[in-house]
Amino acid sequence: MHLALRSATGFLILFLAPLLSAASGPKEKGPGQLRMALVNIRCLTSAGPDAKTNQANLRANLDRHRHFIEKLAGEGVDFVGFPELSVNGYAFSKTMTWLSLDGPEVAELKKLAIAKGVYLSVGLAERDAEGRHWNTQIVIDPQGRIVGVHRKIWLTKERGFVESGSEHRVFDVKGVKMGIVICADGTDRKNLQALVDNGAQLIYGPHANTTGGTTAGWYKFRSAWGGPDGWIAQMKVHAALPNHAGLYNPELTPPSGKEGNAGWASGAWFIGRDGRTLAQMPSSTQKSDSKEHVLIYSVPIPGK
């Protein structure tokens, strides 16, 4: 009886969380707000030994992106944000499938941004025109232009496969100045401060993080960002952080077939200028709760 009640309660919290967080603003797009949707997506990797399997996994990941983008565009969001390396899946190897910013995968996402009239942020394993490799996060605007590019600075498991970025770019998203830190970049306060010094009003932090495979572990890992004395409050900016999901969510129309837990902690978090939590995927110490999730919040546009 206790387990059944717990399961039902967990379902209600997880399923209703996007609706509760969306209560901060109307479903219609408004001129004074950036209505953001953070997607914790379950990805397949494109770093395996078989090229055909890698291509099939890329196709599956793009289809999963499309599923969420079409659903959320219909709910009136301005921005759909995915985590680190969401297109490729987070894994690196000598047989890695590398993508380019002018390749067919990004072109497909550009067309989708235009068709749905939304900003998109996705992560990919990039090979640039000079043949250099990067862990890259991009932002595509509703006209299909890449308006934001960040290449990861603080490397972890991708070390030896990609180069380290050095730039702290800030760009416009519907009147909000946004900067990006990818996962471990956000462990160094100086990366956040550099963005703020360059004019950032909103820090977008895409992650691929395990921290024990639980949302509670991930929130603890990033605890320096939140609270009245945290980094975000000190810098007086907003922050939005999504993570990879370990499991598909049966309530979010997952693909057919069974997939084991990939180990990612999941979790999504909006933090206000005062360090207060504005919206958050429910915290859990259970790995079984590290599922796909959508979290929506309307960030005010300064001066509007």
* pLDDT number for residue 28: 56
**What secondary structure letter does DSSP report for 85?**
T
45 has a pLDDT exceeding 50: yes
Weakest mean pLDDT among 20-24, 89-93, 146-150: 20-24
Residue 285 lies in a domain: yes
The token pair at 34 is 């950036």
Q: How confident is the model at residue 19 (pLDDT cuts 50, 70, 90)?
A: very low
CA Rg value for the chain: 18
The pLDDT tens digits for 246-265 are 999 999 999 998 889 999 99
Segment holding 124, helix H or strand E: strand 119-127
Q: What is the CATH number of the domain that holds 122?
A: 3.60.110.10
Query: For the ranges 28-37, 54-63, 139-148, 220-229, which has the lowest average pLDDT?
Result: 28-37
Q: Per the domain annotation, does 114 fall within a domain?
A: yes
At residue 10, does pLDDT exceed 50?
Answer: no
Asked whether residue 6 is assigned to any structural domain, the reply reads: no
Q: Are 264 and 244 in contact (CB under 8 A)?
A: yes
Beta-ladder partners of 271: 239, 277
Taking 50 as the threshold, does the pLDDT of residue 131 lie above it?
yes
Residue 137, classified by CB atoms within 10 Å of its CB into exposed (0-12), middle (13-18) or buried (19+), is buried
d(CA 177, CA 160): 32
Number of domains the chain is built from: 1
Q: Strand pairing of 238-242 and 202-204? A: parallel
- Cβ distance 225 to 271 under 8 Å? yes
Tell me how far apart the alpha carbons of residues 167 and 150 are, in angstroms, rounded to a whole number. Answer: 7
Q: Nearest-5° angle of CA 66, CA 57, CA 266? A: 65
Q: What is the pLDDT of residue 117?
A: 98
Within a domain: residue 13? no
The string of pLDDT tens digits covering residues 270-295 is 999 999 999 999 999 999 999 999 99
What does the alpha-carbon distance between residue 234 and residue 6 come to, in Å, rounded to a whole number? 38
Tell me whether residue 199 is in a domain: yes
Q: What percent of the chain has pLDDT over 70?
A: 90
Q: Is residue 16 part of a domain?
A: no
Decide: pTM greater than 0.85.
yes
For residue 234, being part of any structural domain is answered with yes
Q: Domain containing 183: what range? A: 22-299
Q: Can you read off the two tokens belonging to residue 248? A: 């598909």
Q: How far apart are CA 265 and CA 212, in angstroms?
A: 7
CB of 287 within 8 A of CB of 213?
A: yes
Residue 8 lies in a domain: no
